Structure 1
Amino acid sequence: MTGPQTLRIISFLDPHKPSIQSDLSWLALRQVRALVNAGMPVQWQILEPPAPLRGLQQTRPPVELPMTAIEHMAQHDARLADLPAVARHTRINGNADILLAVTSPEWWAPLLGNAKKRIAYLERNPHWPLHTLAHLCESCDEIWLPDAQWAEIMHEVCAAPNLAVMPPIRQHRASYNLDQTRLHAFQSSLDVTAGSFVFLCTLDGHGMQGCGHLLAAWEKAFGERMDIDVSLILHCPPQFVAPAAIDGFVDTASWIEERMTHARHTGVVLLDQHLNGDGEDLLRASAQVLLVADEGDGLGMRVMDSVDAGNAVVAAARRGLEGLLGTEWQGFAPIALSQTSALAEALLDAYETIFDKGQQRTLIQWHATHHLSEAAFVQRVLERLPILDAQA
């Protein structure tokens, strides 16, 4: 390699709802920010999502986001405060040696084109058939994936391109201090009592389709324990897609109310509105435990950010999460039990033992802090670029 190669990262940012970005969009910002902070040459091509990503019929190809829109977005969410500065620093000036698409797979080919070296980032996505993903991967020179288990799964169906494990980056925070008055006001708005032991579960539209299993486990765990004060905050979209629905959409509040009609424990709190960065921090600070009820968190970012904020995690055991959080982390495994019974048992165990596992949680947090830092990502990039260059 004769000199530092220029990497161009391509991703989408939706200017219409600054706080509602895809996990891949948040990841791209974290990656670009990390490379800029490390002084590496990087370009960032920020595109506005085309109509299909906003539920409409496609009428035009994606276009680059103007600086006026970028500046507008920065005013509405603390997570985007440095977006204009980062965008100016990484504006495209000349050609790039390597293109990296941090987008959903259908955009890889049109965005990467005939670039010298083409990389795509593939999150865990249970909604795409593996054979389809394998076909799309073949148009790239290298695929980056968030964890080793996902890489092994893809390797079995797609051995053509190089596969590299590139874990995502934990949330970059200027400060961990939260205003206690704002925190208490936020908790009061959720109708959670001050002494309640709080679980938090964030579900997207796909995750909501499996929420019945979660509510059944909650009732099984705490339905007979009316003597304890526990709450489950469900952070969900106000509507979600359901194939059986007449118009295709189901109202989340009505759906949950129907399933909780005969519940003995009523500590389920619905938060069906989108939050900005400050709101997300307040939400995590209001809970003791993050509950991951499905594999919809394709990048593990909600898990990472919650661990970074001090939350414990209850999630099904899989090596993908162990790779992010270290070997000290152990999820629940429904071996002899049903999935609902296993989750119910894990919920009870978390309630009864969380404060006895402080040392273990500290080790998990330490692993996430260092293994998933900006510096760790930059080091992995520096290791991968020479490999790509040698294959030229």
Structure 2
Amino acid sequence: MGFSLTHFFVFLLSVMQDQFPMKKIAFVVAPYGFGPTAKTIAITQQIIRLSKIPKIVFISQGPATEIAEGINLFSEVWNIDFYNSHALCCISDDCDVLVFVNTSRHILRLSSFASKKLYFVDTLAWVRDKPIQCMHLLDAYFAQEFFGYEVSKQIKNRSNYIPTGIISQYINDQSTRSIDDGYSKRSVVHLGGFFSPAMLKDSDIYFLNMVLIMLKEIEHFFDLILPPYMLPKASMIPENVNCISCSPDEVPRILLDGFISLTTSGIEHTYESILLNKPTMFLPPFNMTQYLQLVHLNRIFPGSVRFDFSSQFESISSNNLDTSTFRIQSMGVDGIWEKQFNQLKAFLQKKFKSSDFKFLKVIHDIQSEMIRNIPRDGAQVITSKVLDLDF
């Protein structure tokens, strides 16, 4: 058997790590839905594949930590008060590297530890008009691309800015499912952003039940992906809906057998759905980042949004995402979500009843062409930098 370039790379990396051992990496992960946790999992899998680092720590709050504990990937999982910097400082005291995923909270405080390297993984760089305040303190700022949206020049001109492709686990993007024969199959529904300290109390339950009411009245079968803690909150599950509780690393397998992906407009699941060759349509936004992403997705993927959303939420300022999320959820519970779900339901009822899926072919082709030009090596790029593999 020959000695390939890959074998040489792994051998050289092993020698380097024996000489310069790194003992512990900590991920500080925003407690806002599946996305940040899924990206952390993808990066961690790369680190484990390429390194001998003995400890990789996951730090977050609430359901995000339950997901991390359930996949048996991290040596430590800490569920902390995300607003308490003292707790974070104590946990990360002996870490060589801190990687912040979608949260800049506490970077300023932790930067006082001169021996630590600090990295920031940002999936919202595209929506920022200027750099985060602590960007100058970072060893690297990884800005994930969002379907060709141009990042601010103020951010791009910083020396530690690193443009980053899709941050995802390795998945086979060649689905064998044909759009034309998909009517007899199940479609996949995914709800993102459901856990957040800033969330309006019980707005997740209201949103979930709006989804279930809509699906019940559509002549089709659906697999609804939910985090484990949400299953008991579903009031009545219709006969045509199968609720699946799973971790982010299991989602691609479920998607692969689906017909349509019907999802909230989070970056993580949108990328994953399209990579797996699924026509992707969008649900009403549950939080502010989903709304901002929906505006862009509606523009580049015509036909994928089948309800009115711009006139209701466009007056909300996005300067503070926690505050604006609370406002969107308050307006949603007060009646806007019901109107939006009714509009989407009417469209889907008509299409499934008539088996008219030509519109899906159009959506699929546009989405496939757009994603073809986006690098898929985001996890590898971040891992290479974190492990100092610049050779």
TM-score by length of 2: 0.51
What do the CA deviations read for 1:25-45 (whole angstroms, capped 9, x no partner)?
1343478699x8xxxxx9989
Find the counterpart in structure 2 of residue 26 from structure 1: 41
Percent same amino acid among aligned pairs?
A: 8
Q: Does 1:288 align with 2:252?
A: no
**Partners in 2 of 1:322 and 1:373 — Cα distance?**
23
Question: Could you say if the C-alpha distance between residues 25 and 357 of structure 1 is closer, same or farther in structure 2, counting changes exceeding 3 Å?
Answer: same
Is residue 188–residue 260 contact of structure 2 (8 Å, CA) maintained in 1? Answer: yes
**Partners in 2 of 1:314 and 1:142 — Cα distance?**
34
**Partners in 2 of 1:364 and 1:175 — Cα distance?**
13
From 48, 59, 62, the counterpart of 2:92: 62
From 213, 220, 235, the counterpart of 1:219: 213
What do the CA deviations read for 1:289-323 (whole angstroms, capped 9, x no partner)?
22333x6x4xx122211111122222258564687
Q: Which amino acid aligns with 1:289?
A: I
Q: What RMSD in Å do the two structures reach over aligned CA positions? A: 5.7
Give the 3-state SS of the residue equivalent to 1:314 in structure 2: strand
Once the two structures are TM-superposed, the CA of residue 171 in structure 1 deviates from its matched residue by 4.1
**Partners in 2 of 1:153 and 1:313 — Cα distance?**
24
Once the two structures are TM-superposed, the CA of residue 371 in structure 1 deviates from its matched residue by 0.8
Is residue 101–residue 111 contact of structure 1 (8 Å, CA) maintained in 2? Answer: no
Find the counterpart in structure 1 of residue 369 from structure 2: 366
Correspondence 1:7-46 to 2 at 5 A: 12=27, 22-29=37-44
Q: Does 1:268 align with 2:241?
A: yes
Q: Does 1:201 align with 2:172?
A: no
Q: Which amino acid aligns with 2:104?
A: P
Once the two structures are TM-superposed, the CA of residue 286 in structure 1 deviates from its matched residue by 3.3
From 299, 302, 305, the counterpart of 2:269: 302
**Partners in 1 of 2:371 and 2:224 — Cα distance?**
24
Give the 3-state SS of the residue equivalent to 2:262 in structure 1: strand
**Partners in 1 of 2:311 and 2:36 — Cα distance?**
39
Is residue 312–residue 354 contact of structure 1 (8 Å, CA) maintained in 2? Answer: no
Q: Which amino acid aligns with 1:235?
A: I
Once the two structures are TM-superposed, the CA of residue 334 in structure 1 deviates from its matched residue by 2.0
**Partners in 2 of 1:63 and 1:116 — Cα distance?**
9
Q: How many residues align?
A: 288
From 322, 341, 354, the counterpart of 1:343: 341
**Partners in 2 of 1:222 and 1:305 — Cα distance?**
26
From 202, 224, 234, the counterpart of 2:224: 234
Question: Could you say if the C-alpha distance between residues 175 and 311 of structure 1 is closer, same or farther in structure 2, counting changes exceeding 3 Å?
Answer: closer
**Partners in 2 of 1:321 and 1:170 — Cα distance?**
20
What do the CA deviations read for 1:319-346 (whole angstroms, capped 9, x no partner)?
6468789924554242468333223433
Which segments of 5 or more consecutive residues in structure 1 lack a partner in the other structure?
A: 1-5, 37-41, 66-91, 93-98, 181-193, 240-251, 383-392
Q: Which amino acid aligns with 2:190?
A: C
**Partners in 1 of 2:298 and 2:210 — Cα distance?**
28
What do the CA deviations read for 1:192-218 (whole angstroms, capped 9, x no partner)?
xx9354232144642784342343255
Question: Could you say if the C-alpha distance between residues 292 and 213 of structure 1 is closer, same or farther in structure 2, counting changes exceeding 3 Å?
Answer: same
Q: Does 1:146 align with 2:119?
A: no
Once the two structures are TM-superposed, the CA of residue 256 in structure 1 deviates from its matched residue by 0.8
**Partners in 2 of 1:234 and 1:166 — Cα distance?**
30
Find the counterpart in structure 2 of residue 48 from structure 1: 57
Is residue 147–residue 167 contact of structure 1 (8 Å, CA) maintained in 2? Answer: yes
Question: Could you say if the C-alpha distance between residues 210 and 370 of structure 1 is closer, same or farther in structure 2, counting changes exceeding 3 Å?
Answer: same
TM-score by length of 1: 0.51
Is residue 101–residue 120 contact of structure 1 (8 Å, CA) maintained in 2? Answer: yes
What do the CA deviations read for 1:108-148 (whole angstroms, capped 9, x no partner)?
343794479965223459xxxx9xx9555564476443356
Give the 3-state SS of the residue equivalent to 2:221 in structure 1: strand
Which segments of 5 or more consecutive residues in structure 2 lack a partner in the other structure?
A: 1-15, 17-21, 66-77, 82-86, 178-182, 197-201, 285-289, 313-335, 386-391
What do the CA deviations read for 1:4-63 (whole angstroms, capped 9, x no partner)?
xx9x9965399xxxx9992331343478699x8xxxxx9989632359653368595238
Find the counterpart in structure 1 of residue 330 from structure 2: none
Give the 3-state SS of the residue equivalent to 2:253 in structure 1: helix
Q: Which amino acid aligns with 2:344?
A: A
Question: Could you say if the C-alpha distance between residues 44 and 204 of structure 1 is closer, same or farther in structure 2, counting changes exceeding 3 Å?
Answer: farther
**Partners in 1 of 2:192 and 2:56 — Cα distance?**
26
Correspondence 1:176-191 to 2 at 5 A: none
Q: Which amino acid aligns with 1:370?
A: N
Question: Could you say if the C-alpha distance between residues 340 and 280 of structure 1 is closer, same or farther in structure 2, counting changes exceeding 3 Å?
Answer: same
Q: Does 1:334 align with 2:309?
A: yes
Question: Could you say if the C-alpha distance between residues 319 and 336 of structure 1 is closer, same or farther in structure 2, counting changes exceeding 3 Å?
Answer: closer
Find the counterpart in structure 1 of residue 167 from structure 2: 169
Once the two structures are TM-superposed, the CA of residue 368 in structure 1 deviates from its matched residue by 1.7
Once the two structures are TM-superposed, the CA of residue 237 in structure 1 deviates from its matched residue by 2.5
